[in-house]
Amino acid sequence: MPAKGQHKKKTASAATDINTQAEVSARPNWPPFAPLLPEADLSLHTLHKDQIVTIANFWTSTLCKNFVAFLASLPLVTTPGKPKKGDAVRVNDRFQIEDAAFAERLWSGTCLKTLVLHGEVDGADLDTDSRRQLWGGEVLGLNPNIRIYRYNKGQFFDQHYDDSNNVSFPSAIASAPIPAKTTWTLLLYLTSPATGCKGGETVFYPDSPSKKSKEPPPEPITVGLETGMALLHRHGRECMLHEGREVLEGEKWVIRSDLCVRR
Ligand SMILES: O=C(O)CCC(=O)C(=O)O
Ligand SMILES: [Fe+2]
């Protein structure tokens, strides 16, 4: 694991996230989000304070299975060649689309909105200020920039940091879009060892407490794939170095978006 300061900062949201011509597609006719578990069965769980929050069974395994069958029909694009200087190596197949309607469905048509805006965190309620601090501002919803990843055996996403990006957030009420920025990455895992996918864990490398510290660097946090689990992690200036480990068997499918707050 690279110690703080030794790692050259690679980001994943510059050239790796630009819509290349090959990736501009019509908006898919996404399947409905059903079946879903009721809100009472879902909760926010902290994996690393102020950095990683998970929701187990955010999507049911039936929904994940049906979605993967649909996603496999989309024109996914294999990583084009070598990354630009400063970009992380991402070796997978991706479909990327600006789809505000899908982002809104994923936000309001699931329990995500209720959990993020009102849900208890580890069984404790949050006051308005603590909630704002946690999510980095007034949360508006999800980034319309939706990314679908498929990692086959041997594919991976090398160590990097996710950037915060400015977004024009579509508003149902105001006539003009709302200036917004992204603060947390959302990863929704659709496959796991239960579906035959081995490897592919998302691994986070917490910073050492100080550069001069003689203490050994903190242990990495390895998040194993779980079908239907949603993972949120803080990004931008406070992003932890992280990676998507190599897939050893089967296919890893992920839906990626970001939390947006008012700018
Ligand atoms: O696929 C993963 O586990 C990580 C994905 C990731 O880091 C990203 O989308 O920026
Ligand atoms: Fe990332």
Instruction: Compare 105 and 176 and report the one with higher pLDDT.
Output: 105
Confidence of residue 3 (pLDDT cuts 50, 70, 90): very low
Q: Which domains does the chain have, with CATH numbers?
A: 41-78+88-209+216-262 (2.60.120.620)
Which residues, 6 or more positions from 61, have their beta carbon under 8 angstroms from its beta carbon? Answer: 194, 195, 227, 228
Confidence of residue 181 (pLDDT cuts 50, 70, 90): very high
Q: Which range among 17-21, 92-96, 169-173 shows the weakest confidence by mean pLDDT?
A: 17-21
Give yes or no for residue 190 having a pLDDT over 50.
yes
**Separation between Cα atoms, residue 244 and residue 151, nearest integer Å:** 9
Give yes or no for residue 81 having a pLDDT over 70.
no
**Ligand 1 atom 9: residue of nearest CA:** 256
Q: Which of 145, 155, 187 to mutate to test the pocket of ligand 1 (most atoms within 8 A of CB)?
A: 187
SS3 of 11, please?
A: strand
At 8-58, the pLDDT tens digits run 567 775 334 444 444 566 899 999 999 999 999 999 999 999 999 999 999
At 222-247, the pLDDT tens digits run 999 999 999 999 999 999 999 999 99
**Separation between Cα atoms, residue 4 and residue 205, nearest integer Å:** 9
What pLDDT does 23 receive? 55
**Ligand 1 atom 5: residue of nearest CA:** 244
Ligand nearest to the CA of 234: 2
Percent of the chain topping pLDDT 70: 91
Nearest to 258 by CA among 169, 130, 174, 150: 169
| Cα distance from N-terminal residue to C-terminal residue, the chain | 34
Atom of ligand 1 minimally distant from the CA of 147: 9
**Ligand 1 atom 4: residue of nearest CA:** 244
What is the rounded average pLDDT for all residues in the chain? 90
Centre of ligand 2 to C-alpha 221, Å, is: 14
What pLDDT does 9 receive? 67
Centre of ligand 1 to C-alpha 141, Å, is: 20
Give, for 113, the enclosing helix (H) or strand (E).
helix 112-118
Q: Which residues pair with 52 in a beta bridge?
A: 48, 233
At 192-221, the pLDDT tens digits run 999 999 999 999 999 887 777 778 889 999
What pLDDT does 6 receive? 42
Give yes or no for residue 5 having a pLDDT over 50.
no
Instruction: Compare 38 and 86 and report the one with higher pLDDT.
Output: 38
Task: Please list every protein residue whose CB sits less than 6 Å from any atom of ligand 1.
Answer: 12, 149, 157, 162, 185, 187, 202, 242, 244, 254, 256
**φ, ψ for residue 158, nearest 5 deg:** -65, 170
Centre of ligand 1 to C-alpha 214, Å, is: 30
**Separation between Cα atoms, residue 155 and residue 165, nearest integer Å:** 26
Instruction: Compare 14 and 259 and report the one with higher pLDDT.
Output: 259
Which regions of 42-197 does DSSP assign to beta strands (E)? 45-48, 52-55, 77-78, 90-91, 93-98, 139-142, 145-151, 156-160, 166-169, 178-189
**Separation between Cα atoms, residue 103 and residue 140, nearest integer Å:** 11
Centre of ligand 2 to C-alpha 17, Å, is: 11
**Separation between Cα atoms, residue 29 and residue 102, nearest integer Å:** 10
